[in-house]
Structure 1
Amino acid sequence: MSSMLPLPFWPILLGISGAVFGSFIATIAIRWPEGRSALHGRSACDGCGRGLAWFELVPVAGFVALRGRCRTCGARIAAGHVVTELLGAAVGIVAGLVAPGWEGVAGAACGWLLLALGAIDLAAFWLPDVLTGALAVAALGGGLAGFAPSLPDRLIGGAAGFGALWLVAAGYRRARGRIGLGGDPKLFGAIGLWLGWRALPPVLLIASATGLAAVAVMAIAGRRIAVTDRLPLGPLLAGAAYLCWAI
């Protein structure tokens, strides 16, 4: 089917779809950790509670048109909304450029699930099993559809990814007496199912280097960092995994 469609079709289609998914992801990242359903209830201003009109919900454009503020009460719209919409669009555009066709659709779907997991982990230090499971199912589906890497490589990657971080988590819990990695082993296993076992070392290396760089930047900016401070690993793994898939 991809050969029958012009090349720009895929990044445009997936980019627009990504902006829409990004808007939904931003909503669930706020509502889900608070125990609220993202599927029910009309979108409303966080400041005054006014229900939002359809044109205010248009991804990115609505934020720009309103200049980042509610048109009723003037409360600031969280920048995370438009950032997540832009990231969702970027995931789709990159997927459409790297792999125009159904393989790109599969890559974008995995990318959006990673974006949702990263956003929720960043907001609430939580990686919902249902989203990690969805990523694993999508990854296996890609293998069954014949997309690279091969299904055996994906299965080895799933077991190796989960096992590696599970051992780290178990060792940390034994040494410190508290949980250090929550759903991260499951996420790393799902990433292994998507990218195969060969991609696991670079994904972990990029995620670790990015985390160290973030800590260094915070220290340079004058933020006091304590030993007990927590840095969510989920967003780092998610970003590194999509980068490794794209290149």
Structure 2
Amino acid sequence: MLDPAFLPPSPGIALIGASVLGAIVGSFLGAALVRMPEGRSVVTGRSACDGCGKALTVMELVPVLSWLAQRGKCRACGARIGRGQLACELGGAAVGIGAVLVAREGLVLAAMLLGWQLLLLALLDLRHLWLPRVLVGWLAGSGGLVVLARAWFEQDVGPVLIAAGGAALGFLMLWLIARFYLKARGREGMGSGDPPLLGAIGIWLGPLGVVEVMLGASILGIAAAIVMLVSKRKIDAETALPLGTCLAATAWPLFLLQGLG
């Protein structure tokens, strides 16, 4: 008879735990979304209202619930709390739930780790057209650790070779496109963070995953352009679309369905 202490949690408990953990992580991601573009530290300093600077209490930091209870405003000065914070908390919870429900056995925690990192990168690129190299580096490093753990567990170097191939293909594919565009048009047509991002994604998904992510991101980009046209927004050669957001939005669902490359 198995000791109850070693039994896996019921699906309901697992989902609740994943959603709570995800919302907490999402709260941290929301702070990073505000602080990083301003050059502020994400890990030091107390959380405070961006309007009046009042330090937030524990009850004002409960993910999702505090935002709803305060109606998205600071209790002290009434300044609006950006919806980006709520989006991060809900997004973080959704990543946790999605990983538990869909990710392959043994890859639930890896799916959460990948999803939370891609969520922050997607939002930073969507808001600021910025993919911080340090975050892309963390994405690549964490993917490398997951792949090494798999290779050690399976006693097979194959996963490492696949990851290396995915990283090389992902980076070179976008780097070559960017170089060709620069040579043909005489100006930059892609953010410098996009090739490293696809390279980091390639570590997680392998060469075939890189091709699938590029296809999915292209479809999302076309859909976004159609929406802009329908809404009568001007689109020309100077219009910037967040490719990194499209890459991230495609990569995580693929990992959930396919696992490591």
Question: Does the TM-score normalized on the shorter chain lie above 0.5?
Answer: yes
Aligned: 1:84 with 2:88: yes
Deviations 1:182-221 (A, max 9, x none): 1111110111100111112221111111111112112211
Partner of 1:198: 208
Higher alpha-carbon deviation: 105-114 or 48-57: 48-57
CA–CA distance in structure 2, aligned partners of residues 174 and 11 of structure 1: 50
1:126 Cα deviation after fit: 1.6
Identity of aligned residues (%): 45
> Which residue among 219, 232, 251 is the counterpart of 1:222?
232
> Which residue among 61, 69, 87 is the counterpart of 2:65?
61
Alignment of 1:153-192 (within 5 A): 153-179=162-188, 180-192=190-202
Partner of 2:46: 42
1:102 Cα deviation after fit: 4.7
Classify the secondary structure of the residue corresponding to 2:150. Answer: coil
Deviations 1:24-80 (A, max 9, x none): 111111111111112222222222222222111111111111111122222221111
CA–CA distance in structure 2, aligned partners of residues 53 and 107 of structure 1: 32
Q: Any conservation in 2 of the 1:10–1:97 contact (CA below 8 Å)?
A: no
> Which residue among 120, 140, 143 is the counterpart of 2:144?
140
Matched residues, number: 246
Aligned: 1:13 with 2:17: yes
Q: Any conservation in 1 of the 2:19–2:93 contact (CA below 8 Å)?
A: yes
Structure 2, gaps ≥5 residues long: 152-157
Classify the secondary structure of the residue corresponding to 2:236. Answer: coil
AA aligned to 2:243 is: L
Q: Any conservation in 2 of the 1:30–1:123 contact (CA below 8 Å)?
A: no
Q: Any conservation in 2 of the 1:21–1:85 contact (CA below 8 Å)?
A: yes
CA–CA distance in structure 2, aligned partners of residues 205 and 125 of structure 1: 21
CA–CA distance in structure 1, aligned partners of residues 197 and 6 of structure 2: 30
CA–CA distance in structure 1, aligned partners of residues 6 and 38 of structure 2: 41
CA RMSD of aligned residues (A): 2.1
AA aligned to 1:51 is: A
AA aligned to 2:23 is: A
Classify the secondary structure of the residue corresponding to 2:73. Answer: coil
Classify the secondary structure of the residue corresponding to 2:18. Answer: helix
Partner of 2:122: 118
Classify the secondary structure of the residue corresponding to 1:76. Answer: coil
Q: Any conservation in 2 of the 1:45–1:70 contact (CA below 8 Å)?
A: yes
Change (3 A) 1:41 1:207: same
Q: Any conservation in 1 of the 2:104–2:256 contact (CA below 8 Å)?
A: no
Partner of 2:100: 96
Partner of 2:250: 240
1:2 Cα deviation after fit: 8.8
- Give the TM-score, by structure 1 length: 0.92
CA–CA distance in structure 2, aligned partners of residues 173 and 3 of structure 1: 57
Aligned: 1:73 with 2:77: yes
Classify the secondary structure of the residue corresponding to 1:196. Answer: helix
CA–CA distance in structure 2, aligned partners of residues 225 and 30 of structure 1: 28
Structure 1, gaps ≥5 residues long: none
